[in-house]
Amino acid sequence: MRENKLYANPKKCVFCAPEIPVLGCYVSKDGVRADPEKISSIRSWPTPKNQTELRQWLGLANNLHKYTKDYAGLVQPMSSLLKMDVAWDWRPEHQDVFDAVKKSIASAPVMMLSDTSRPFHVVCNAI
């Protein structure tokens, strides 16, 4: 590391920990799981009353989107309320989606780490 001018601060290092926080998730030998504090915040968030509150909640929920199947498709009805030319009109279908996302994130699975002894593909959508 020193050859490449990379240095570790021992005071900030964690060694032999069973689990470590990394970028808002917890990583262990079993895989990657969502931060329980973020899950709790999402679950306890009240129903949004305006675009600002919805934007705040979607911003938080988006941090854990990888734990919800078809997250973008699921939140689309709520996202449409954020358009400039759309009046705020929270309907039962928005509440259903809001509750479904909360439920999905609350039951977030542990994401398994890749088995590097087996072949796998990395797909990138960048050009």
On whether residue 33 sits in a domain, the answer given is no
Range of the domain at 99: 40-106
Q: Are 63 and 36 in contact (CB under 8 A)?
A: no
Would you say the pTM of this structure is higher than 0.95? no
How many independent structural domains does the chain possess? 1
For every one of its 127 residues, what pLDDT tens digit does the chain have, with 9 covering 90 and above? Answer: 788 888 889 898 888 999 998 888 899 999 999 999 999 999 999 999 999 999 999 999 999 998 898 999 999 999 999 998 999 999 999 999 999 999 999 998 888 888 889 988 878 776 6
Q: Are 63 and 24 in contact (CB under 8 A)?
A: yes
| CA pair distance 96, 92, nearest whole angstrom | 6
